């Protein structure tokens, strides 16, 4: 039972973090209104259909389902009445230009025993690496993911002391690629472990080896598939939020956060001013400051950190089934280093991009017509700096089609029945992500965790932030933790 109080809270944006923050604030007894600029909810975690094909428009890899469950339990509901999922095994299929392919499995033991015989590395080497990443995760998670990094008192905890005592073990002074090249002889294994830098839009040749905790999450904590696809996360959380009394306003872009004498007073939409005791912005923090708080002093250093990569996505209806593909597939580039240099140094598109193909109809047959498949075909690209994206999209389409044809020995062009395309400009306009960067600031710097904006304003009372552009960072689980940290700071 929610213990009502007379306080009110506005949440700006209905990304997964905004919805989670709204649920948590409602459970604290606040009257909560979510203002969403779009006509649909979920931000990046949304879904569309085209000619009988359904597509998840953004995230496709789902980890830590317990963070979704937690919101139902907090609200006194049984999560299984709203939201269900399966643990995946196998998880990914990898294809290489030399004609070989590898598959990744669930759990350390199975992963190592299945991969070792097909690579130049031993089972012991793979297990040793996975043990190391597990230790790194155990040392860092509490400090970097579960608490505000910006509250002085949090630096005097057991978890921080343990992290500091073991600082040498968290890989802060090496790059992901550096650590992975030391761990493995097989270039394909190095590439497989390097690719996890893309989960937060960074380069494995620049990002600290601490990010090698990401494969630990996927391989050991597990990768999941939500029944009905990723969008069911948004749908079920919105259902829960509405049931407990959160109000959603669609087509309601917030134009300004109203502040007087450094105290938040409310927000302005096209319908005028509405007063609120607390405002939580789930809008990208760069744009929150630049668009909604134009006259406030900005934390320039944090806002101007280099931004993450973006993506070009072809949502294709394919009128054939491909048994050689599974739910998650990657067709790797031949020269990974050159690919990342093109993205992060040349701010351009690469001629031989690694391609991620996600096909939810493998698990949810209703997502495509009989005998067909819904392909979410993604390549990492630079963020939007005003490049000629029409040209980049056309060129990338050719690169992607040629590579798929080469590796799968097919002619995919003839099989594309319908198409929608996202590029960094679309991502920017659809979710207000600065420069169309998918993951906020990049993590190409060992201090990046400390250079994300806090979950609260240091200058303006009762103004808070949640979502992928602020602490602890992007992805569904981190956005859910962001909402948890943010709301825990509100009395």
Ligand X SMILES: Cc1cc2nc3c(=O)[nH]c(=O)nc-3n(C[C@H](O)[C@H](O)[C@H](O)COP(=O)(O)OP(=O)(O)OC[C@H]3O[C@@H](n4cnc5c(N)ncnc54)[C@H](O)[C@@H]3O)c2cc1C
The residue ranges that bind ligand X (CB under 6 A) are 12-18, 35-38, 43-45, 58-61, 253-254, 282-283, 311, 313, 427, 431-433, 438, 467-468, 474-476, 479
Nearer to ligand X, 60 or 382 (CB): 60
Nearer to ligand X, 14 or 212 (CB): 14
Q: What is the distance in angstroms between the CA of the first residue and the CA of the last residue of the chain?
A: 18
Residue 18 Cβ vs ligand X, minimum distance, rounded to whole Å? 5
Q: Angle between the 16-27 and 476-488 helix axes, to the nearest 10 degrees?
A: 30
**Are the CB atoms for 58 and 234 separated by under 8 Å?**
no
Nearer to ligand X, 38 or 410 (CB): 38
Residue 28 Cβ vs ligand X, minimum distance, rounded to whole Å? 19
Residue 377 Cβ vs ligand X, minimum distance, rounded to whole Å? 11
Nearer to ligand X, 22 or 189 (CB): 22
- Ramachandran angles phi, psi of 299, nearest 5°: -75, 80
Residue 482 Cβ vs ligand X, minimum distance, rounded to whole Å? 7
Residues sharing a CB contact under 8 Å with residue 33, sequence separation 6 or more, in sequence order = 8, 9, 10, 11, 246, 247, 248, 249, 274, 276
**Are the CB atoms for 234 and 13 separated by under 8 Å?**
no
DSSP per-residue codes, 380-416: EE---SS--HHHHHHHHHHHHHHHHHHHHTS-GGGGE
Residue 128 Cβ vs ligand X, minimum distance, rounded to whole Å? 27
Nearer to ligand X, 79 or 467 (CB): 467
Percent helix, strand and coil across the chain, each to the nearest 5: 40, 20, 40
Nearer to ligand X, 184 or 289 (CB): 289
**Are the CB atoms for 456 and 464 separated by under 8 Å?**
yes
Residue 473 Cβ vs ligand X, minimum distance, rounded to whole Å? 8
HEC letters along 131-173: HHHHHHHHHHHHHHCCCCCCCHHHHHCHHHHHHHHCHHHCCCC
Kindly report each contact of residues 255-263 with a partner whose C-beta sits within 8 Å and lies 24 or more positions away, as own/partner: 255/291, 255/292, 256/292, 256/293, 256/294, 257/12, 257/281, 257/288, 257/292, 257/293, 257/463, 259/293, 259/296, 259/460, 259/463, 262/459, 262/460, 262/461, 263/460, 263/461, 263/462
Residue 22 Cβ vs ligand X, minimum distance, rounded to whole Å? 11
The C-alpha torsion from 5 through 11 and 14 to 20, rounded to 10°, is -50
Nearer to ligand X, 58 or 226 (CB): 58
Residue 33 C-alpha from the chain's centroid: 24
Nearer to ligand X, 35 or 350 (CB): 35
Token duo for residue 37: 């600029």
Instruction: Look at residues 325, 317, 398 and name the one whose alpha carbon lies nearest to residue 356.
Output: 325
Residue 433 Cβ vs ligand X, minimum distance, rounded to whole Å? 6
Task: State how far the Cα of 59 lies from the Cα of 64, in Å rounded to an integer.
Answer: 14
The CA angle 300-302-306, to the nearest 5 degrees, is 100
The residue at minimum Cβ distance from ligand X is 15
Residue 71 Cβ vs ligand X, minimum distance, rounded to whole Å? 13
Token duo for residue 338: 């050159």
- Ramachandran angles phi, psi of 220, nearest 5°: -100, -50
Nearer to ligand X, 119 or 433 (CB): 433
Nearer to ligand X, 229 or 311 (CB): 311
Residue 472 Cβ vs ligand X, minimum distance, rounded to whole Å? 11
Nearer to ligand X, 283 or 485 (CB): 283
Residue 68 Cβ vs ligand X, minimum distance, rounded to whole Å? 11
């Amino acid at each position: 039972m929610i213990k009502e109080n007379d306080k009110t809270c506005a949440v700006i944006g209905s990304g997964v973090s905004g919805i989670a923050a709204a649920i948590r604030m409602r459970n604290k007894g606040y009257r909560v209104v979510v203002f969403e600029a779009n006509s649909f909810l979920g931000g990046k975690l949304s879904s569309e259909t085209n000619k009988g094909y359904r597509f998840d428009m953004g995230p496709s890899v789902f980890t830590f389902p317990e963070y979704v469950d937690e919101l139902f339990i907090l609200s006194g509901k049984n999560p299984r009445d709203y939201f269900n999922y399966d643990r995946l095994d196998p998880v990914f299929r990898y294809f290489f230009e030399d004609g070989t392919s590898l598959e990744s499995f669930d759990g350390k033991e199975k992963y190592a025993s299945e991969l070792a015989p097909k690579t130049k590395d031993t089972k012991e080497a793979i297990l040793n690496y996975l043990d190391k990443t597990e230790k790194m995760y155990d040392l860092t998670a509490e400090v970097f993911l579960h608490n505000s990094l910006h509250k002085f008192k949090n630096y005097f905890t057991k978890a921080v002391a343990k992290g500091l005592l073991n600082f040498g073990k968290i890989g802060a002074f090496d790059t992901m690629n550096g650590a992975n090249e030391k761990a493995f002889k097989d270039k394909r294994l190095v590439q497989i472990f390097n690719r996890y830098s893309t989960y937060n839009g960074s380069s494995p040749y620049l990002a600290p080896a601490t990010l090698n905790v990401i494969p630990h999450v996927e391989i050991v904590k597990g990768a999941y598939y939500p029944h009905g696809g990723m969008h069911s996360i948004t749908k079920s959380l919105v259902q829960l939020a509405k049931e407990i009394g959160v109000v959603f306003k669609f087509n309601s872009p917030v134009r300004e956060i109203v502040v007087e004498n450094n105290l938040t007073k409310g927000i302005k939409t096209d319908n005028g001013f509405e007063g609120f005791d607390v405002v939580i912005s789930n809008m990208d923090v760069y744009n929150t400051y630049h668009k909604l708080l134009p006259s406030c002093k900005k934390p320039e250093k944090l806002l101007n950190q280099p931004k993450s990569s973006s993506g070009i996505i072809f949502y294709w209806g394919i009128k054939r089934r491909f048994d050689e593909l599974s739910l998650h597939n990657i067709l790797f580039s031949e020269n990974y280093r050159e690919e990342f240099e093109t993205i992060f140094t040349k701010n351009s598109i690469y001629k031989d991009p690694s391609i991620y193909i996600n096909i939810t109809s493998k698990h949810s047959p209703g997502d495509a017509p009989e005998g067909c498949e819904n392909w979410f075909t993604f390549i990492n690209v630079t963020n939007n700096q005003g490049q000629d994206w029409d040209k980049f999209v056309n060129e990338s389409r050719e690169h992607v089609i040629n590579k798929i044809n080469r590796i799968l020995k097919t002619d995919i062009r003839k099989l594309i029945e319908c198409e929608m395309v996202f590029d960094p400009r679309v991502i920017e306009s659809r979710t207000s992500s600065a420069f169309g960067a998918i993951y906020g600031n990049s993590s190409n710097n060992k201090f990046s965790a400390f250079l994300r904006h806090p979950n609260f304003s240091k200058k303006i009372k009762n103004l808070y932030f949640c979502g992928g552009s602020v602490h602890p960072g992007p992805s569904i689980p981190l956005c859910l933790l962001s909402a948890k940290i943010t709301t825990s700071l509100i009395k």
